Protein backbone atom coordinates (compact mmCIF):
# COMPACT_ATOMS: atom_id res chain seq x y z
CA UNK A 1 0.00 0.00 0.00
CA UNK A 2 1.24 3.50 -0.87
CA UNK A 3 2.55 5.36 2.16
CA UNK A 4 1.12 8.63 3.45
CA UNK A 5 3.70 11.33 2.71
CA UNK A 6 4.11 14.67 4.44
CA UNK A 7 3.86 16.53 1.14
CA UNK A 8 0.54 14.90 0.25
CA UNK A 9 -0.85 15.36 3.77
CA UNK A 10 0.07 19.05 3.77
CA UNK A 11 -1.68 19.47 0.41
CA UNK A 12 -4.88 17.90 1.69
CA UNK A 13 -4.86 19.79 5.00
CA UNK A 14 -4.47 23.06 3.12
CA UNK A 15 -7.31 22.05 0.78
CA UNK A 16 -9.82 21.25 3.53
CA UNK A 17 -9.31 24.43 5.60
CA UNK A 18 -12.32 26.11 4.00
CA UNK A 19 -14.67 23.39 5.30
CA UNK A 20 -14.28 24.79 8.84
CA UNK A 21 -16.80 27.44 7.78
CA UNK A 22 -19.45 24.70 7.72
CA UNK A 23 -19.26 24.04 11.46
CA UNK A 24 -18.90 25.71 14.84
CA UNK A 25 -16.95 25.06 18.02
CA UNK A 26 -18.60 23.33 20.98
CA UNK A 27 -20.30 26.18 22.83
CA UNK A 28 -21.82 24.24 25.73
CA UNK A 29 -18.41 23.83 27.40
CA UNK A 30 -17.18 27.35 28.23
CA UNK A 31 -13.47 26.53 27.94
CA UNK A 32 -13.92 24.91 24.52
CA UNK A 33 -16.06 27.76 23.24
CA UNK A 34 -12.92 29.91 23.05
CA UNK A 35 -11.12 27.59 20.61
CA UNK A 36 -10.05 29.07 17.28
CA UNK A 37 -12.11 27.27 14.59
CA UNK A 38 -9.43 27.93 11.96
CA UNK A 39 -6.78 25.77 13.65
CA UNK A 40 -6.20 22.42 11.97
CA UNK A 41 -3.62 19.68 12.17
CA UNK A 42 -3.13 16.08 11.07
CA UNK A 43 -0.60 13.32 11.61
CA UNK A 44 -0.12 9.75 10.39
CA UNK A 45 2.04 7.25 12.29
CA UNK A 46 3.22 4.40 10.05
CA UNK A 47 3.86 0.99 11.56
CA UNK A 48 7.49 1.21 10.44
CA UNK A 49 7.88 4.09 12.92
CA UNK A 50 7.77 7.00 10.47
CA UNK A 51 5.48 9.86 11.54
CA UNK A 52 4.32 12.55 9.12
CA UNK A 53 2.33 15.65 10.02
CA UNK A 54 0.73 18.77 8.58
CA UNK A 55 -0.80 21.98 9.89
CA UNK A 56 -0.31 23.02 13.52
CA UNK A 57 0.91 19.59 14.59
CA UNK A 58 2.40 20.79 17.88
CA UNK A 59 -0.87 22.38 19.04
CA UNK A 60 -2.24 20.76 22.20
CA UNK A 61 -5.96 19.99 22.52
CA UNK A 62 -8.02 17.97 24.97
CA UNK A 63 -8.89 14.51 23.70
CA UNK A 64 -12.42 14.50 25.19
CA UNK A 65 -14.36 11.38 24.11
CA UNK A 66 -11.30 9.75 22.55
CA UNK A 67 -10.45 9.01 26.18
CA UNK A 68 -13.42 6.61 26.25
CA UNK A 69 -11.43 4.14 24.13
CA UNK A 70 -8.42 4.35 26.45
CA UNK A 71 -10.48 3.94 29.62
CA UNK A 72 -12.24 0.93 28.04
CA UNK A 73 -8.87 -0.71 27.32
CA UNK A 74 -7.76 -0.14 30.93
CA UNK A 75 -11.03 -1.55 32.32
CA UNK A 76 -10.78 -4.64 30.11
CA UNK A 77 -7.19 -5.27 31.18
CA UNK A 78 -8.09 -4.79 34.86
CA UNK A 79 -11.33 -6.73 35.07
CA UNK A 80 -11.80 -8.83 31.94
CA UNK A 81 -14.50 -8.91 29.30
CA UNK A 82 -17.28 -10.53 31.35
CA UNK A 83 -17.07 -8.03 34.21
CA UNK A 84 -16.96 -4.98 31.95
CA UNK A 85 -19.89 -6.06 29.80
CA UNK A 86 -22.00 -6.94 32.81
CA UNK A 87 -22.22 -3.16 33.35
CA UNK A 88 -22.23 -1.80 29.80
CA UNK A 89 -23.63 -3.16 26.54
CA UNK A 90 -22.12 -3.79 23.10
CA UNK A 91 -24.70 -2.42 20.68
CA UNK A 92 -24.59 0.75 18.54
CA UNK A 93 -27.32 3.37 18.83
CA UNK A 94 -28.76 6.17 16.73
CA UNK A 95 -29.46 8.22 19.87
CA UNK A 96 -27.27 11.25 20.72
CA UNK A 97 -24.21 10.52 22.88
CA UNK A 98 -25.77 12.33 25.86
CA UNK A 99 -29.12 10.48 25.68
CA UNK A 100 -30.72 9.02 28.80
CA UNK A 101 -33.66 7.36 27.03
CA UNK A 102 -32.12 3.89 26.58
CA UNK A 103 -31.37 3.71 30.31
CA UNK A 104 -35.09 4.09 30.94
CA UNK A 105 -36.23 1.30 28.61
CA UNK A 106 -33.40 -1.26 28.61
CA UNK A 107 -33.57 -4.16 31.05
CA UNK A 108 -31.23 -4.49 32.83
CA UNK A 109 -30.85 -0.73 32.92
CA UNK A 110 -27.25 -0.49 31.71
CA UNK A 111 -25.76 1.81 29.04
CA UNK A 112 -26.05 0.42 25.54
CA UNK A 113 -22.34 0.82 24.69
CA UNK A 114 -19.14 2.34 26.17
CA UNK A 115 -18.83 5.13 23.58
CA UNK A 116 -21.91 7.09 24.71
CA UNK A 117 -21.55 9.24 27.81
CA UNK A 118 -23.50 6.92 30.13
CA UNK A 119 -21.40 3.95 29.06
CA UNK A 120 -18.15 5.87 29.37
CA UNK A 121 -19.05 6.98 32.90
CA UNK A 122 -19.80 3.37 33.83
CA UNK A 123 -16.40 2.31 32.43
CA UNK A 124 -14.52 5.06 34.30
CA UNK A 125 -16.29 3.89 37.46
CA UNK A 126 -14.44 0.57 36.96
CA UNK A 127 -10.97 2.07 37.43
CA UNK A 128 -9.24 0.19 40.23
CA UNK A 129 -7.82 3.13 42.18
CA UNK A 130 -9.11 3.79 45.68
CA UNK A 131 -9.01 7.59 45.30
CA UNK A 132 -9.91 9.92 42.44
CA UNK A 133 -6.20 10.69 41.92
CA UNK A 134 -5.43 6.96 41.71
CA UNK A 135 -8.25 6.41 39.19
CA UNK A 136 -7.12 9.29 37.00
CA UNK A 137 -3.48 8.27 37.10
CA UNK A 138 -4.43 4.76 36.06
CA UNK A 139 -5.61 6.27 32.76
CA UNK A 140 -2.75 8.78 32.55
CA UNK A 141 -0.16 6.04 33.20
CA UNK A 142 -1.68 4.08 30.32
CA UNK A 143 -1.41 7.14 28.06
CA UNK A 144 2.23 7.57 29.11
CA UNK A 145 2.89 3.90 28.30
CA UNK A 146 1.34 4.14 24.82
CA UNK A 147 2.96 7.45 23.86
CA UNK A 148 6.29 7.07 25.65
CA UNK A 149 5.77 10.60 26.98
CA UNK A 150 5.34 11.00 30.74
CA UNK A 151 4.83 14.76 30.47
CA UNK A 152 1.26 14.34 29.17
CA UNK A 153 -1.27 15.68 31.69
CA UNK A 154 -4.77 17.12 31.74
CA UNK A 155 -5.88 20.73 31.16
CA UNK A 156 -7.07 21.95 34.55
CA UNK A 157 -9.11 24.84 33.13
CA UNK A 158 -11.03 22.64 30.70
CA UNK A 159 -11.59 19.95 33.34
CA UNK A 160 -13.00 22.48 35.80
CA UNK A 161 -15.17 24.04 33.10
CA UNK A 162 -16.65 20.66 32.23
CA UNK A 163 -17.07 19.70 35.88
CA UNK A 164 -19.01 22.89 36.58
CA UNK A 165 -21.32 22.66 33.57
CA UNK A 166 -22.07 18.96 32.93
CA UNK A 167 -25.41 18.63 34.70
CA UNK A 168 -26.74 16.12 32.17
CA UNK A 169 -23.84 13.75 32.85
CA UNK A 170 -24.65 13.98 36.54
CA UNK A 171 -28.23 12.95 35.82
CA UNK A 172 -26.94 9.92 33.88
CA UNK A 173 -24.79 8.98 36.87
CA UNK A 174 -27.62 9.25 39.38
CA UNK A 175 -29.90 7.18 37.17
CA UNK A 176 -27.24 4.46 36.88
CA UNK A 177 -26.47 4.61 40.60
CA UNK A 178 -30.16 4.09 41.35
CA UNK A 179 -30.03 0.95 39.20
CA UNK A 180 -26.75 -0.42 40.58
CA UNK A 181 -24.65 0.14 37.46
CA UNK A 182 -22.19 2.50 39.16
CA UNK A 183 -21.06 2.62 42.78
CA UNK A 184 -19.53 5.25 45.05
CA UNK A 185 -19.71 9.02 44.89
CA UNK A 186 -21.20 10.56 41.75
CA UNK A 187 -19.20 13.75 42.29
CA UNK A 188 -15.93 11.84 42.64
CA UNK A 189 -16.67 9.86 39.49
CA UNK A 190 -17.48 13.05 37.67
CA UNK A 191 -14.22 14.59 38.86
CA UNK A 192 -12.24 11.69 37.33
CA UNK A 193 -14.27 11.66 34.13
CA UNK A 194 -13.90 15.38 33.39
CA UNK A 195 -10.14 15.20 34.01
CA UNK A 196 -9.91 12.12 31.81
CA UNK A 197 -11.64 13.99 28.97
CA UNK A 198 -9.31 16.97 29.51
CA UNK A 199 -6.11 14.99 28.87
CA UNK A 200 -4.01 17.07 26.48
CA UNK A 201 -2.20 15.71 23.43
CA UNK A 202 -1.15 16.81 19.96
CA UNK A 203 -1.88 14.97 16.71
CA UNK A 204 1.56 13.33 16.62
CA UNK A 205 1.11 11.77 20.05
CA UNK A 206 -2.44 10.67 19.32
CA UNK A 207 -1.50 9.19 15.94
CA UNK A 208 1.05 7.02 17.75
CA UNK A 209 -1.68 5.78 20.11
CA UNK A 210 -3.88 4.99 17.11
CA UNK A 211 -0.95 3.16 15.54
CA UNK A 212 -0.76 0.81 18.51
CA UNK A 213 -4.43 -0.10 18.02
CA UNK A 214 -3.64 -0.61 14.32
CA UNK A 215 -0.72 -2.86 15.32
CA UNK A 216 -2.88 -5.34 17.27
CA UNK A 217 -2.00 -3.66 20.57
CA UNK A 218 1.77 -3.97 20.13
CA UNK A 219 4.34 -1.20 20.65
CA UNK A 220 5.40 -0.01 17.21
CA UNK A 221 9.08 0.29 18.11
CA UNK A 222 9.65 -2.72 20.42
CA UNK A 223 6.86 -5.11 19.48
CA UNK A 224 5.87 -5.43 23.16
CA UNK A 225 2.20 -6.33 23.65
CA UNK A 226 0.92 -3.22 25.46
CA UNK A 227 -2.77 -4.12 25.00
CA UNK A 228 -3.83 -7.76 24.65
CA UNK A 229 -4.73 -8.38 21.01
CA UNK A 230 -8.30 -9.38 21.82
CA UNK A 231 -8.93 -6.23 23.86
CA UNK A 232 -7.42 -4.02 21.14
CA UNK A 233 -9.78 -5.71 18.68
CA UNK A 234 -12.75 -5.00 20.96
CA UNK A 235 -11.79 -1.32 21.18
CA UNK A 236 -11.40 -1.13 17.40
CA UNK A 237 -14.79 -2.76 16.93
CA UNK A 238 -16.50 -0.20 19.16
CA UNK A 239 -14.78 2.61 17.26
CA UNK A 240 -16.06 1.08 14.03
CA UNK A 241 -19.67 0.71 15.18
CA UNK A 242 -20.11 3.53 17.69
CA UNK A 243 -17.10 5.85 17.56
CA UNK A 244 -18.54 8.72 15.53
CA UNK A 245 -21.68 9.26 17.60
CA UNK A 246 -24.88 8.96 15.55
CA UNK A 247 -22.91 9.60 12.36
CA UNK A 248 -21.17 6.22 12.69
CA UNK A 249 -23.14 4.59 9.87
CA UNK A 250 -22.44 7.21 7.23
CA UNK A 251 -18.81 7.43 8.40
CA UNK A 252 -18.48 3.66 7.92
CA UNK A 253 -19.75 4.04 4.34
CA UNK A 254 -17.71 7.13 3.46
CA UNK A 255 -14.48 6.33 5.35
CA UNK A 256 -14.72 2.76 6.61
CA UNK A 257 -12.10 2.68 9.38
CA UNK A 258 -12.44 2.41 13.18
CA UNK A 259 -12.40 5.96 14.56
CA UNK A 260 -13.31 7.94 17.65
CA UNK A 261 -14.12 11.62 17.77
CA UNK A 262 -14.22 14.18 20.57
CA UNK A 263 -16.07 17.49 20.86
CA UNK A 264 -12.80 19.44 21.06
CA UNK A 265 -12.56 18.69 17.33
CA UNK A 266 -10.28 15.67 17.42
CA UNK A 267 -10.64 12.36 15.53
CA UNK A 268 -8.42 9.32 16.09
CA UNK A 269 -8.50 6.74 13.29
CA UNK A 270 -7.13 3.20 13.04
CA UNK A 271 -5.93 1.75 9.72
CA UNK A 272 -5.29 -1.88 10.63
CA UNK A 273 -1.80 -3.16 9.75
CA UNK A 274 -0.96 0.24 8.18
CA UNK A 275 -0.89 2.93 10.87
CA UNK A 276 -2.73 5.44 13.02
CA UNK A 277 -4.13 8.82 12.06
CA UNK A 278 -5.13 11.83 14.15
CA UNK A 279 -6.86 14.96 12.90
CA UNK A 280 -7.80 18.13 14.77
CA UNK A 281 -10.14 20.94 13.74
CA UNK A 282 -12.45 22.52 16.37
CA UNK A 283 -15.36 23.38 14.05
CA UNK A 284 -17.98 20.65 14.54
CA UNK A 285 -20.91 19.41 12.47
CA UNK A 286 -24.39 18.82 13.91
CA UNK A 287 -23.39 15.37 15.18
CA UNK A 288 -20.46 16.80 17.15
CA UNK A 289 -17.67 15.60 14.82
CA UNK A 290 -14.88 17.72 13.37
CA UNK A 291 -15.95 19.01 9.94
CA UNK A 292 -12.44 19.10 8.51
CA UNK A 293 -11.52 15.86 10.28
CA UNK A 294 -14.31 13.93 8.63
CA UNK A 295 -13.57 15.52 5.26
CA UNK A 296 -9.84 14.75 5.43
CA UNK A 297 -10.45 11.14 6.39
CA UNK A 298 -12.94 10.76 3.53
CA UNK A 299 -10.30 12.02 1.09
CA UNK A 300 -7.50 9.86 2.53
CA UNK A 301 -9.61 6.72 2.75
CA UNK A 302 -10.73 7.08 -0.84
CA UNK A 303 -7.18 7.75 -2.09
CA UNK A 304 -5.47 4.97 -0.12
CA UNK A 305 -8.45 2.55 -0.21
CA UNK A 306 -8.49 2.18 3.57
CA UNK A 307 -12.09 1.03 3.99
CA UNK A 308 -12.45 -2.33 5.71
CA UNK A 309 -15.82 -2.87 4.02
245 is in an annotated binding site: yes
CA-to-CA distance for 113 and 117, rounded, in angstroms? 9
Active site residue 263: yes
CB 122 within 8 A of CB 87: yes
Catalytic residue among 19, 43, 67, 68: 68
263 is in an annotated binding site: yes
Residue 245 is among the residues annotated as catalytic for this protein: yes
Which of 66, 263, 274, 294 does the annotation list as catalytic? Answer: 263
Instruction: Say whether 169 counts as a known binding-site residue.
Output: yes
- Supply the DSSP string of 119-171, one letter for each residue: HHHHHHTT---SSHHHHHHHHHHHHHHHHS-TT--B-HHHHHHHHHH-HHHHH
193 annotated to bind ligand:
yes
Handedness of CA 238, 244, 248, 254 (dihedral sign): negative
The active-site residue, picked from 19, 154, 163, 193, is 193
Catalytic residue among 69, 245, 271, 277: 245
Catalytic residue among 4, 19, 25, 65: 65
Q: What share of the chain is helix, strand, coil (3-state, %, to 5)?
A: 50, 10, 40
Nearest in space to 199 (alpha carbons), one of 120, 282, 277, 139? 139
Residue 162 among known ligand-binding residues:
yes
Confirm whether 171 is a catalytic residue: no
Annotated binding site for substrate: 65, 117, 162, 169, 193, 245, 263
Residues annotated as part of the active site: 65, 68, 193, 245, 263
Annotated binding site: 65, 117, 162, 169, 193, 245, 263
Amino acid sequence: MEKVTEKQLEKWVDHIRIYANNGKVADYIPALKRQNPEINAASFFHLDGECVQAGEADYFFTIQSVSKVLALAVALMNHGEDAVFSRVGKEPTSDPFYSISKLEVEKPSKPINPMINAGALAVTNMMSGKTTDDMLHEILDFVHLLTGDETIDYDKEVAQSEYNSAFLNRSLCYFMKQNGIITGSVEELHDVYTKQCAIQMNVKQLAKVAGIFANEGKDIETGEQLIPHHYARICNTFMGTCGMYNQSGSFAINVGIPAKSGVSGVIMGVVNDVGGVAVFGPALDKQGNSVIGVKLLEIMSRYYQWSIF
